[in-house]
Structure 1
Amino acid sequence: MTITNRQSTEDVAAGIRRRVFLHTMRNNGGYLSQACSAAETLALLYNEVLDLGEPTLPKVPLPFAGVPSASNPDAFTGAGYHGPFSPEYDRFIISPAHYALVIYSALIQMGRMGEDALDYFNKDGSSVEMIGAEHSPGMEVTTGSLAQGLSMASGLAWARKRRGETGKVWVYMSDGEFQEGQTWECLAAMSFHGIDNVRVIVDVNRQQCDGAMSSVLDLGDLPARVAAFGATTRSVDGHDLDALRDAANSAEPGKPLVILANTSPFQGMPFLERRFPRLHYVRFKSKDEREEMKVAIAEELGLELESI
């Protein structure tokens, strides 16, 4: 990547978790477990793997300028925080739009957005949406219901391949998206068309909005199922950076690469385990519960209570 922000990937992951935790405490709720499970994978992508240019959007996020159309020259997509569209640069599609707070925190941690960018989070007229849309920082497309992001990324990758562009298309997914038929249709299509410039990382944290994945629709042997659809499949510990690095460099010609990053929704914040599997969105039932969580997790993250 062009931007230089000298941090270890471990520090980026820790910074993502701290930012999401602080925001959750200060706003009485947030997508906290997604920061626990996704911090290492997103840190590795942004700090080491993705080849991105300098941001084309300001560090203070712009207000929503309306949907893209021929009659709206002011419209923009949040992909500007990943740099310009250029044949040699990677594109990064974020499929689970509810990870938006974690993505924003990663962009801030990497210096791609300003330190005060979360002040605009979920405010009327802001582009910093709670559930990311195409204008939200880091988002290139609106993924709507789960499982649309991979299909859009595959079409983009196929077009780039046919044009001879060298940049890859990376996709970030949640495991809940494998409960949707569109994901499997897309894997079959990518395999059939030999779309091998796609790299997929899946946050396999085994939870979704209705509880544990196994209680809603068990996916069984997910690595075997994905491999059966023709993808190069790597199942690794999603908190082991060396394993993730090896997986990210293991693509095979003619096949999409799918990395199943097995993660914990309370990694780095073990206090949250008592809430599993009801961790999709963390709210506080009382002031006492909030204070208990604040004290416990602040200690786990090495934060001073006075800063919260």
Structure 2
Amino acid sequence: MLNSKTTDEVALGIRRRVFEHSILNNGGYMSQACSAAEQIAWLYNEELKLGQPTLPMIPKPFGGVPSASNPDYHTGAGYNGPAAPQFDRLFIAPAHYALVAYAALIEVGRMAPEGLDMFNKDGSSVEMIGAEHSPGMEVHNGTLGIGLSTAAGLAWGRKRRGEPGRVWVFMSDGEVQEGQTWEAVQAAAYHGIDNLYAIMDVNAQQCDGAMSSVMEVGDIRAKLELFGARAIDIDGHDLDAMRQAVAEPHDGRPLIVLAHTSPFRGMSFLERRFPRLHYVRFKSEQERVEMNTEIARELGVEPVVYGEH
């Protein structure tokens, strides 16, 4: 174990770091931290069986794409430890949750805080939209909807080799609007890939606004079950519900936990921005000041000190 924090403390730390980063940088993926902090914290702090990190605490610069002439190329998966048979593997399917994932790595002691200072900087591997070389990432999931397919393929191979390690996917509910997601569920069920696990942040939000205003998706759990998965609805801010859900029997089927969440959790000021929550950029300096003051109070920290940008 790399830290002695409780999972609740890790989740709060994730929100605080994302909030601070967003105030300093005149915007950020704040709502994703509101909805997903408990899920990412639970995965890293409790559920995943991971080895010690194999990459430096302060991320290296972008080292180029994989090729025969680039033998030192590596993915960011080293922050999750070695890809040994006994360890779990994690895929962050919605790559725009990268800021939340980086904050989680810092909170659990897998990346140095300085890593977040490199976010979205030229030449940095700490990408705004997580890429395969970004901390904690193993593949590029920027095309929303491919994460579950990628994980299913790896899980199928691990199962055939008899490896005990599981394959986990963190997903968003917007991915159920993508046909490839349903193909992955159906294939995983058909091939009995029950070492495939997913937790989906069901916050009813997506890039263009509320899910219901873009494409209504209906009863996700019922559909997943019809496609062959074992799906469970829970309160996505309830850690005990996550612990109970992962223990559900699902022989021969992938297990998908539908974590229903609030996109304002811990930062209720954001409700005033509904339904435009995908990336929060301040409309005015006055709003930035108000948000800094009110959210800091809610998160139990001092307002962020920042200069002119």
Among 272, 281, 284, the alignment partner of 2:282 is 284
Residue in structure 2 matched with residue 178 of structure 1 by the alignment: 176
The runs of at least 4 consecutive aligned structure 1 residues that moved more than 3 Å come to none
Among 257, 271, 275, the alignment partner of 2:255 is 257
Segment of structure 1 superposing worse, 155-164 or 144-153? 144-153
Residue in structure 2 matched with residue 274 of structure 1 by the alignment: 272
TM-score (norm 1): 0.98
Among 109, 130, 133, the alignment partner of 1:132 is 130
Residue in structure 2 matched with residue 190 of structure 1 by the alignment: 188
1:81 & 1:251 partners in 2: Cα distance? 30
Residue in structure 2 matched with residue 88 of structure 1 by the alignment: 86
Q: Specify every segment of 5 or more residues in structure 1 that has no aligned partner in the other structure, as ranges.
A: none
Among 151, 165, 174, the alignment partner of 1:153 is 151
- Name the SS for the 1:293 alignment partner: helix
Segment of structure 1 superposing worse, 65-74 or 134-143? 65-74
Question: How is 1:70-81 mapped onto 2 (pairs within 5 angstroms)?
Answer: 70-81=68-79
Deviations, residues 254-284 of structure 1 (Å, cap 9, x unaligned): 0000000000000111111111111000000
Q: How many residues were matched structurally? A: 306
Question: How is 1:205-244 mapped onto 2 (pairs within 5 angstroms)?
Answer: 205-244=203-242
Deviations, residues 279-300 of structure 1 (Å, cap 9, x unaligned): 0000001100100111110100
- Name the SS for the 1:29 alignment partner: coil
Deviations, residues 17-76 of structure 1 (Å, cap 9, x unaligned): 000000000000100000000000111111100000000000000011111223311111
Residue in structure 1 matched with residue 62 of structure 2 by the alignment: 64
1:251 & 1:20 partners in 2: Cα distance? 35
Q: CA deviation at 1:165?
A: 0.2
Q: Aligned AA for 2:81?
A: G
1:211 & 1:307 partners in 2: Cα distance? 30
Among 110, 120, 124, the alignment partner of 1:112 is 110
Deviations, residues 182-233 of structure 1 (Å, cap 9, x unaligned): 0001101001000000010000000001000001011101110111111011
Identity among equivalent pairs (%): 66
2:75 & 2:180 partners in 1: Cα distance? 24
Q: CA deviation at 1:306?
A: 5.7
Residue in structure 1 matched with residue 11 of structure 2 by the alignment: 13
Q: Specify every segment of 5 or more residues in structure 2 that has no aligned partner in the other structure, as ranges.
A: none
